[in-house]
Structure 1
Amino acid sequence: MNAAPEEITSLVGREVYSNNGVFVGEIEDVRLDLDAQAVTGLALAELNHELFAGRVDGNTGVIVPYRWVRAVGDVVLINDVIERLDTGSDESEAEAELEV
């Protein structure tokens, strides 16, 4: 049974968490590929300051690739790769993907 499609704008305002339950940020906007008619990224604001300390200032958001999204419901779950920014492991992949 397929769920009814939702408006893309319904993503705006939802909180984003890692698979491990760590708050990442809140969706402020979405990045679209109009030719492919697909969402390619989520623009986050209200960021978890501990995760992004030293990488973004208080007025800057980030865009995470949509392929990191694992589930969309009342909140959005993304891969734990975002947490690796904080620990320093696998930083090259995460920083290459994360747009500040």
Structure 2
Amino acid sequence: MDEEPEEITNLVGREVYSNNGVFVGEVEDLRLNLDAEVVNGLAVTALNPELFDDVVTGKKGVVVPYRWVRSVGDVVLINDVVERLEERVEQPE
């Protein structure tokens, strides 16, 4: 039984969780590469303050690279967001 492919706009409004089950935020928009016809990233808002308050100041959200996405279903699962975020904060610029 062949299923119709989902439209990428169906991602908007889905909750985003790390693969460890930590709530990250909610998909508000998509970053697209129209020439290659691929999704480059997810614009995530309604961020989990425990993850982002120390890092994201004065911004409405973050863009999560689409390569971090592990699976899409009722929610979007992404790889190790907490560990990746902590590593970036600890590295001096």
Residue by residue, what CA displacement relative to the aligned partner does 1:23-65 show, whole Å, maximum 9, x if unpaired? 0000000000000000000000000001002211365210000
Q: How far apart are the structure 2 equivalents of 1:73 and 1:2?
A: 17
Taking only the aligned residue pairs, the percentage that are identical comes to 67
TM-score by length of 2: 0.86
Larger Rg: 2
Q: Which residue of 1 aligns with 2:82?
A: 83
Q: Which residue of 2 aligns with 1:44?
A: 44
Which amino acid is the alignment partner of residue 21 of structure 2? G
Pairing 1:35–2:35 present: yes
1:3 Cα shift? 4.1
Q: Which residue of 1 aligns with 2:14?
A: 14
Q: How far apart are the structure 1 equivalents of 2:8 and 2:51?
A: 26
> How many pairs align?
88
Cα distance change on mapping 1:36 and 1:11 into 2, 3 Å: same
Cα distance change on mapping 1:23 and 1:58 into 2, 3 Å: farther
Cα distance change on mapping 1:31 and 1:10 into 2, 3 Å: same
Q: How far apart are the structure 2 equivalents of 1:19 and 1:2?
A: 28
Where does structure 1 lack aligned partners over 5 or more consecutive residues?
Answer: 93-100
Cα distance change on mapping 1:60 and 1:14 into 2, 3 Å: same
CA RMSD of aligned residues (A): 1.7
Cα distance change on mapping 1:22 and 1:30 into 2, 3 Å: same
TM-score by length of 1: 0.80
Q: How far apart are the structure 2 equivalents of 1:66 and 1:36?
A: 14
